[in-house]
């Protein structure tokens, strides 16, 4: 992050585009709602739904964006973006639609979306809402699996840590999928941390199964237990909004004696 080879998240995202399936829809929040990334997605020939800031949406439209806006636009790079990305072609532009959508779950919040999909506004909004699954998945990877802070001291060890962490994550998700089918629910209706605990408890028993039949019996037992970890259905909003704890007060910065006009030591 602070080394000589550090690059921005946007550049890393551009490099990762070719790893996506050809028919994948690229979703992003405001951090990636910039021309350079939109142009890279267009060059990869993949559709996109990018969230923009209000200021950027206004710049593209050429006027104040209003609720209900659904207009075809050609997104051109600004002078600053051309300076930051001199490789952009002179005629560079991204053709799409700019949508201003009122968030149904937060009536006072407006979403400024740029998309190349030919779908209704409601369908575009529904696709963008799926992006929240990525946030919850990242939380599971960082907190539950423990990849928030890596302990490896070399490139090889960090790579092994990441690979094993992702493998563990995929194993838990696979168990959630199988358990959800048996319980006739969607995998995301199950608790990731609950299923992780079930898998950790069942692995030694599965590894010591004397034969295939006994292994299958223990596997079915694990899946039945995992299916019990259903998340509660919220019938109403939270009693209190989510808030971040304050960082507390700060002491004044100590100054050297000579800076305050005192005697030198």
Q: Inform me whether the pLDDT recorded for 202 exceeds 60.
A: yes
Kindly list the distances between the CA atom of residue 103 and the CA atoms of 50, 61, 67, 113, 159, in Å, as whole numbers in the listed order. Answer: 15, 20, 10, 11, 39
The full DSSP string for the chain is: --STT---HHHHHHHHGGGS-TTPPEEE-GGG-SHHHHHHHHHTT--EEEEE-HHHHHHHHTS---TT-EEEEEE---HHHHHH-TTS-TT--EEEEEEEEE-TTSTT-EEEEEE---S-HHHHHHHHHTHHHHHHHHHIIIIIS--SS---SSHHHHHHHHHHHHHHHHHHHHHHHHHHHHHTS-GGGB-HHHHHHHHHHHHHHHHT-SSHHHHHHHHHHHHHHHTT-BPPP-SS--SS---PPP----PPPP--GGGGT----
Mean pLDDT score across all residues of the chain: 89
Task: Label residue 230 by pLDDT band (50, 70, 90).
Answer: very high
Q: Inform me whether the pLDDT recorded for 185 exceeds 60.
A: yes
Q: Quick: pLDDT tens for 3-45.
A: 888 888 888 899 899 899 988 999 999 999 999 999 999 999 9
Place of tokens 């659904």: 70
Structure confidence at residue 7 (pLDDT): 86
What average pLDDT does this structure show over 221-229? 95
Structure confidence at residue 137 (pLDDT): 92
Kindly list the distances between the CA atom of residue 3 and the CA atoms of 8, 15, 156, in Å, as whole numbers in the listed order. Answer: 12, 19, 17
Task: Label residue 92 by pLDDT band (50, 70, 90).
Answer: very high
**Full-model pTM:** 0.75
- Of 188-192, 230-234, 242-246, least confident by mean pLDDT is 242-246
Task: Label residue 85 by pLDDT band (50, 70, 90).
Answer: confident
Structure confidence at residue 52 (pLDDT): 96
User: 264 burial class (0-12, 13-18, 19+ CB within 10 angstroms)?
Assistant: exposed
What average pLDDT does this structure show over 104-108? 76
Structure confidence at residue 258 (pLDDT): 61
Domain spans of the chain? 9-129, 135-226
Structure confidence at residue 3 (pLDDT): 82
User: How far apart are the C-alpha atoms of 227 and 262, rounded to whole Å?
Assistant: 71
Q: Quick: pLDDT tens for 142-181.
A: 999 989 888 889 999 999 999 999 999 999 999 999 999 9
Structure confidence at residue 108 (pLDDT): 81
Task: Label residue 238 by pLDDT band (50, 70, 90).
Answer: low
The tokens of 172 are what? 């838990």
Residue 71 contacts residue 95 (beta carbons within 8 Å): no
Q: Quick: pLDDT tens for 112-153.
A: 999 999 999 999 999 999 998 988 999 999 999 989 888 889
Q: List the end-to-end C-alpha distance of the chain, in Å, as a whole number.
A: 39
What average pLDDT does this structure show over 36-63? 94
């Amino acid at each position: 992050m602070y080394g000589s080879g550090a690059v921005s998240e946007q550049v890393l995202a551009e490099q990762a585009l070719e790893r996506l399936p050809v028919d994948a829809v690229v979703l992003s929040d405001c951090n990636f709602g910039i021309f350079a990334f939109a142009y890279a997605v267009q060059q990869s020939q993949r559709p996109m739904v990018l969230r923009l800031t209000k200021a950027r949406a206004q710049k593209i439209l050429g006027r104040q964006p209003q609720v209900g806006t659904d207009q075809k636009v050609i997104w051109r790079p600004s002078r600053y973006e051309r300076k930051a990305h001199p490789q952009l072609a002179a005629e560079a532009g991204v053709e799409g639609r700019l949508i201003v959508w009122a968030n149904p779950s937060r009536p006072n919040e407006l979403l400024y979306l740029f998309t190349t999909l030919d779908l209704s506004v409601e369908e575009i909004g529904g696709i963008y809402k799926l992006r929240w699954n990525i946030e919850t998945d990242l939380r599971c990877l960082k907190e539950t699996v423990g990849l928030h802070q890596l302990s490896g001291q070399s490139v090889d060890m960090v790579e092994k840590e990441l690979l094993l962490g992702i493998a563990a994550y995929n194993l838990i998700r696979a168990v959630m999928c199988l358990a959800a089918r048996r319980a006739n629910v969607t995998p995301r209706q199950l608790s990731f941390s609950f299923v992780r605990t079930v898998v950790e408890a069942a692995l030694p028993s599965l590894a010591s199964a004397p034969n295939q039949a006994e292994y299958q019996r223990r596997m079915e037992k694990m899946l039945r237990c995992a299916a019990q970890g259903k998340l509660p259905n919220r019938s109403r909003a939270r009693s209190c909004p989510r808030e971040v704890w304050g960082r507390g007060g700060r002491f004044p910065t100590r100054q050297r004696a000579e800076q305050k006009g005192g005697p030198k030591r």
